Homo-oligomer: A and B are copies of this chain.
Amino acid sequence: MSYRVVKGEDFSHLLERDVAFLLCIGNTRTAEIQGITVAGESPELIKFTPPADAELLYYGHCKSIPFPPATPDGKPTPALITYTALRLLGTPLFVVDSGLMVKPKIPYYSINAPVGNNIAEGKAMELEAAVEAFEYAKILGREFSKRFEVLMIGESIPAGTTTAGAVLKAMGVEAKVSSSMPENPVEVKRQVIEKAVSRINSSDPLEILAEVGDPVLLAVTGIALGSRKPVILAGGTQMAAASQVIRAIDEAKEIHIATTVYVAEDSTADIAEIAATDVIASDPGLGESVKPGLRAYAEGFVKEGVGAGGATLLAYKNGFTKEMFLKEIEKDYEIIVEQAKK
């Protein structure tokens, strides 16, 4: 089976319509807490992961760093999967600077989003700046939805599952959270989340985002709320948090979540429980890959990110079988990862 409905309705027919893929990339200084994320080969490289992911999608290689983003032990970025899907389908891609430390070497949308502060230490963003970026994101969502029939939104932000966990908790959703590591550093994350959420004294979703969230969550929720067409949140825990925020602001908004089976099967997370809407999990079939770097996904590494689960579903709903899609991913992997390392 190439994908399955984990929760709610099957919305996958939406992906046969005109889809725009919007990638929200940003940083939170929460990623600087030791051991909290492996979204980068070293602490110094973590901040380059979001721009490098976006560059990979446009060029098939990165410009801000010499190699594609990877974990310290060499597991490659899920942008690879998204790249293959967008390449095969010719889906238009638009990148939104959602609080970046380093600007990507591509054209990108600015919504004047601030970099997120470390939520263990203080508020993520000034409320005023957050509200401004949120309003701009809404305009973006509105303009894109004037012609596109569906907006798919992906994300790249190291330590984003921690800030998402804090937002969920602050909104009353007790959640275990997913991670790009098989040994989910639950205890480190839990402590950061506790500390951040202890500062919360509001039930206003935007105030919660500004206090314990991150600028990517702000962009994603803003775009979704501005859209007049269905929105597919492509991601795991972070998109579950986004769905809760969106629902709290607009109960009637048509949103869905598309993620990978690696998130859906993660016993340390619980996507179906924490999502405020339908969830479909798709299987890029990496467990059957001949490439160890790709097989690692099925062994609990990386799991999701850069909209990989949604992009996979997009491929399956537009003529590609699991076998065909995996072959194409492997072909791209050879060029992007293996040949680049030579």
Binding site for B on A (CB under 8 A): 18, 20, 58, 90-94, 97, 103, 105-112, 132, 136-137, 139-140, 143-144, 146-148
Task: Please name 24 pairs of A and B residues whose Cβ atoms are closer than 8 Å in the assembled complex, sorted by A.
Answer: A18-B147, A20-B147, A90-B146, A91-B146, A92-B143, A92-B144, A92-B146, A92-B147, A94-B143, A103-B112, A105-B132, A106-B136, A107-B109, A107-B111, A107-B112, A107-B136, A107-B137, A107-B139, A108-B109, A109-B109, A109-B110, A110-B110, A147-B147, A147-B148
Q: A107-B137, A107-B139 are in contact. List 17 more A-B contacts (CB 8 A).
A: A20-B147, A90-B146, A91-B146, A93-B143, A103-B112, A105-B132, A106-B136, A106-B139, A107-B109, A107-B112, A107-B136, A107-B140, A108-B109, A108-B110, A109-B110, A110-B110, A147-B148
Contacts of A137 on B, CB cut-off 8 Å?
A: 107
Contacts of A111 on B, CB cut-off 8 Å?
A: 107
Contacts of A140 on B, CB cut-off 8 Å?
A: 107
Contacts of A108 on B, CB cut-off 8 Å?
A: 109-110
Whole-angstrom distance from the CB of A238 to the nearest CB of chain B? 21
Whole-angstrom distance from the CB of A19 to the nearest CB of chain B? 9
Contacts of A132 on B, CB cut-off 8 Å?
A: 105
A148→B147 CA distance, assembly (Å): 8
A124→B91 CA distance, assembly (Å): 36
A58→B111 CA distance, assembly (Å): 14
A93→B91 CA distance, assembly (Å): 20
Whole-angstrom distance from the CB of A110 to the nearest CB of chain B? 5
Knowing A110-B97, A110-B108, A110-B110, the reply to whether A139 touches B20 (Cβ < 8 A) is no
